Structure 1
Amino acid sequence: MRYPDLPLPPVAGGFILSRHLNHSDPLLAVSHFAPQKYHDALAVEWGIPLPARLQQAVIKRRAEYLASRFLVRSVMAELGIADFILSNAPDRSPCWPAGIQASLSHSAGVVVVAATRQPCAIGIDVEQFMLEKTAQDTAELLMNEQEQQLLRTLPISFSAAATLLFSLKESIYKALWPQVYQPMDFLDAALVSVDLTQQRATLRLTQHFSGCFTAGTLLQATFLWHENQVITQVTHRL
């Protein structure tokens, strides 16, 4: 996975700071935005109305919604689907166009989107690095003993390694939910290997979810570091 470097047209007003994509498959796009520059008139101007559930939400939440939908619309246009506005199902999962497998994540002024027409489960996630104390305090919830031992052998800080693992498991959850519609615990998938040079990881499901996702199923992931963030992506052919 390569960090997106092909710029999309700039957006006036200061809310959207940048938008870049890669013409890879899955297509990968990233946008940086300034939450403090958000105002409701932008949603009207861009034709992306806020849903009723967000009318009284805090500015941060409304900014995330608008920035993510704005990037999704650009990505769908690249795939030949014009003027698409992403909506959510009653379970809050995104409703993508027919024939499109995609995933969306946002964190601290960054939005990432991955999308493909290939028949695969796909999940993407972006996370800010955890504090060392947070990594230590949440280790038992996030990882089993073998995973913790593996992370401590990596030539990076434990907080960076724990953030990577957290993001990988979030990407797995996002990839599996549209296929199985079942809740997933952090310990329902276990890290098997990490290659920091190739920026690849393998995880194994420890629970049975469906005929396609049985206990023992191996899931391949890619990841990349950018400043104080990690982006992870899981794809699994269906």
Structure 2
Amino acid sequence: MDQTPLLTLQDRANGFLNDIAAQDSLIQGAVLVTGSYNSAAYGDALFERLDIPFPAQLGRAVDTRKADLLAGRAMAQAAMALLHVPPQPVLSAPSRAPIWPNGLSGSISHARGRCVCLLSQDTTHSYGVDTEAIASGRSLTAILKETLNIRERAMVTQGRLPAAANATLAFSAKEALFKALYPRVGQFFGFDAAELTHAPNDARLALTLTTDLADGLPKGRSFDIHHRLTDTHVLTWLCVPAA
């Protein structure tokens, strides 16, 4: 895959974006782009420099919030380039979910200096991607108490991966699943709507619905979710039929 558009985007970002790379999405027809961003290098002029419209709703936002959104939209721009799609604005819904241009379906995530976009021209599917910094201290305690049940807390202590990585993966996978299913469900659902079925293996984990969410999304339906780890972050992603 030609990396030239990614390198060009990185050069234009004046040190704000780094390590932009196309990853193997393991999903036919979908591209997965990851990168790093430096909030300290952010300035409002970067939106114009990267040809990304500045959202009016960010007018009073703090720079870190602006940097998060710009990084995610830059990954979307890179993903479009890899799909040979002319760059188009990705607007935000009131829920902050991205509104994809016609003919595209995807998902964006950012967390503590890492950003990612999963994108496809297959609009018969919905996509979910999430990245998270591997939790520790209070963040890990919050994940264990607020997003995992008793059985899941036992599972994350099993398997080859450290418990903190497993717990963060489970949390991230639930976020990715929410993004993938939300267009179909049409309303918020909590972390308890899906349950980890076993300790994550080296490349995948599975979540099973604990309640009926919508037609075709009954209690007991399982979803396989891809994942990768670095020393500092986890990455989870999947696609599901849109209807």
TM-score by length of 2: 0.88
Q: Deviations over 1:110-159 (max 9, x none)?
A: 11011123322211000001114432344232112211121122233322
CA distance in 1, matches of 2:181, 2:221: 12
Q: CA 1:127–1:40 in 2, change beyond 3 Å: closer, same or farther?
A: same
1:181 is aligned to: 186
Question: What is the one-letter code of the residue matched to 1:53?
Answer: Q
What's the % identity of the aligned pairs? 28
CA distance in 2, matches of 1:73, 1:113: 9
2:16 is aligned to: 15
Contact 2:204/2:226 (<8 A) preserved: yes
2:195 is aligned to: 190
What displacement does 1:90 show? Answer: 2.7
2:95 is aligned to: 91
Range with bigger deviation, 126-135 or 34-43: 126-135
CA distance in 1, matches of 2:232, 2:24: 24
Q: CA 1:217–1:54 in 2, change beyond 3 Å: closer, same or farther?
A: same
Range with bigger deviation, 226-235 or 129-138: 129-138
Contact 2:2/2:82 (<8 A) preserved: no
State yes or no: 1:35 paired with 2:36.
no
TM-score by length of 1: 0.90
Range with bigger deviation, 203-212 or 6-15: 6-15
Contact 1:147/1:191 (<8 A) preserved: yes
CA distance in 2, matches of 1:70, 1:143: 32
State yes or no: 1:157 paired with 2:162.
yes
What displacement does 1:5 show? Answer: 10
Number of matched pairs = 234
Q: Which runs of 5+ in 1 are unaligned?
A: none
Question: What is the one-letter code of the residue matched to 1:22?
Answer: Q
**Superposed CA RMSD:** 2.1
Contact 2:159/2:200 (<8 A) preserved: no
What displacement does 1:209 show? Answer: 1.3
Contact 1:5/1:20 (<8 A) preserved: no
CA distance in 1, matches of 2:139, 2:93: 32
Range with bigger deviation, 86-95 or 218-227: 86-95
Q: CA 1:46–1:136 in 2, change beyond 3 Å: closer, same or farther?
A: closer
What displacement does 1:83 show? Answer: 2.1
Equivalent position to 1:223, from 218, 227, 232? 227
Q: Which runs of 5+ in 2 are unaligned?
A: none
What displacement does 1:54 show? Answer: 0.9
Question: What is the one-letter code of the residue matched to 2:17?
Answer: I
CA distance in 1, matches of 2:101, 2:64: 27
What displacement does 1:23 show? Answer: 6.1
Contact 1:177/1:183 (<8 A) preserved: yes
Q: Deviations over 1:28-64 (max 9, x none)?
A: 0012111111111121223323212211211111111
Equivalent position to 2:218, from 208, 214, 231? 214
CA distance in 2, matches of 1:147, 1:130: 16
Equivalent position to 2:54, from 50, 60, 63? 50
* SS of aligned partner of 2:64: helix
What displacement does 1:230 show? Answer: 0.3
Contact 1:69/1:86 (<8 A) preserved: yes
Contact 1:122/1:234 (<8 A) preserved: yes
Q: CA 1:134–1:109 in 2, change beyond 3 Å: closer, same or farther?
A: closer
Question: What is the one-letter code of the residue matched to 1:90?
Answer: P
